Chain A
Amino acid sequence: RKEVEQDPGPFNVPEGATVAFNCTYSNSASQSFFWYRQDCRKEPKLLMSVYSSGNEDGRFTAQLNRASQYISLLIRDSKLSDSATYLCVVNPQTGANNLFFGTGTRLTVIP
């Protein structure tokens, strides 16, 4: 089983739509959770960290459900510039301090 699993999409949505991405992780002891954004042929960039209490940054809301080992990202009022691949990322902090990435969910916002 993969450490992090997410629906690869693609998600094609019209401008202004609300879209939600989900992912699950396998290691129940995982400590830190993130969403990264990766534009085509570019490096991943941190979009936001994910906390158990949920957190919001403008049009973006992230949620963590530790009991279900489930992470979500909600994007409201989609913009053309939101088109990218969104990577669900988990740091198990088992000593190696590495990040486990999902395969990414590709989003295209259509005019």
Chain B
Amino acid sequence: ETGVTQSPTHLIKTRGQQVTLRCSSQSGHNTVSWYQQALGQGPQFIFQYYREEENGRGNFPPRFSGLQFPNYSSELNVNALELDDSALYLCASSHGGRGWDTEAFFGQGTRLTVV
């Protein structure tokens, strides 16, 4: 077990709705990154949080937003859900933030289905 937990594990939402996904990072880790993995594809970087601030963002629209809390847990929010948002959402926990200094540990993911 990696010590990174995500909730919920599965979720079904309707197009146009909003969703919040949660991630608890591994103890001692201060950096959380979020990835979207569509079926048959590799994970795609959404954004990273380091010490409660956004530390980089991938090619995702503003309706994807995030937050990191003082205990370094994190949320991913997606507004105005579209069918193409259906994917496995992965959270990765690491320590550092200025380079991939430590191994990134992934949570088990949240499988989101938009209907």
Contact = CB atoms under 8 A, between A and B. Distances in A.
Contacts, number: 66
Interface residues of A, number: 22
A103 B42 CA distance: 4
Given A42-B108, A98-B58, A99-B45, A91 B100 contact: yes
B106 A43 contact: yes
Contacts of A97: 31, 33, 48, 50, 55-56, 96-100
A93 B104 contact: no
Q: Is the interface of B mostly helix, strand, loop or mixed?
A: loop
Interface string A32-55: 100000000011111000000000
Nearest to A89: B42
Given A43-B90, A46-B103, A98 B108 contact: no
A62 B2 CA distance: 24
A32 B90 CA distance: 20
B42 A95 contact: no
Given A43-B90, A45-B106, A4 B100 contact: no
B57 interface: yes
Contacts of A104: 41-42
Interface of A: 4, 8, 31-32, 42-46, 87, 91, 93, 95-104
Given A46-B104, A102-B42, 13 more contacts: A43-B2, A87-B42, A91-B99, A96-B58, A97-B48, A98-B33, A98-B56, A99-B33, A99-B92, A100-B45, A101-B42, A101-B43, A104-B42
